[in-house]
């Protein structure tokens, strides 16, 4: 995937990568490892409506052991990134949502 991105973090297809951080409880429910809540249902519905599919950045890790929460990534169009991120940030259980910063060349 990195080979398809330029130094701004944008993909050749006009998309960019987003990162979403969920609280441990929300991440567990989102991954099906915890009790589903209204928060998780709202997030699931919103992601479907927005056409965003999130995948864990570190698969296989129990989200309840990560105090910082669990990070997920997804691909969105550059033109719609901020609108989608704003909607995702409004969901309870979401700690952060942002465009993945571009990679830096080694010094």
Tokens encoding 100: 């993945």
106 within domain boundaries:
no
105 within domain boundaries:
no
Q: 18 is in which domain, residue-wise? A: 2-99
DSSP 105: -
Amino acid 69: pLDDT: 74
pLDDT tens track for 9-65 = 555 578 899 999 988 888 888 887 666 667 678 888 888 888 888 888 887 777 767
107 within domain boundaries:
no
pTM of the shown model: 0.75
Number of structural domains, the chain? 1
Tokens encoding 60: 């296989």
Q: Which helix (H) or strand (E) holds 76?
A: strand 70-77
Tokens encoding 56: 């864990």
Of 31, 29, 45, give the one whose Cα is nearest residue 91: 45
pLDDT tens track for 59-93 = 777 776 777 678 889 998 988 899 999 999 998 88
HSE of 98 in the Cβ direction (CA atoms, 13 Å)?
7
């Amino acid at each position: 995937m990195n080979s398809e991105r330029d130094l701004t973090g944008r993909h050749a297809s006009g998309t960019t990568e987003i990162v979403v951080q969920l609280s441990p409880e929300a991440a567990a429910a989102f991954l099906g490892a915890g009790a589903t809540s209204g928060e998780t249902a709202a997030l699931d519905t919103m992601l479907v409506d927005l056409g965003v599919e999130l995948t864990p950045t570190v698969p296989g890790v129990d989200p309840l052991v990560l105090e910082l929460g669990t990070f997920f990534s997804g691909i969105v169009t550059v033109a719609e990134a901020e609108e989608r991120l704003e909607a995702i940030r409004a969901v309870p259980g979401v700690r952060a949502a942002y465009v993945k910063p571009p990679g830096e060349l080694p010094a």
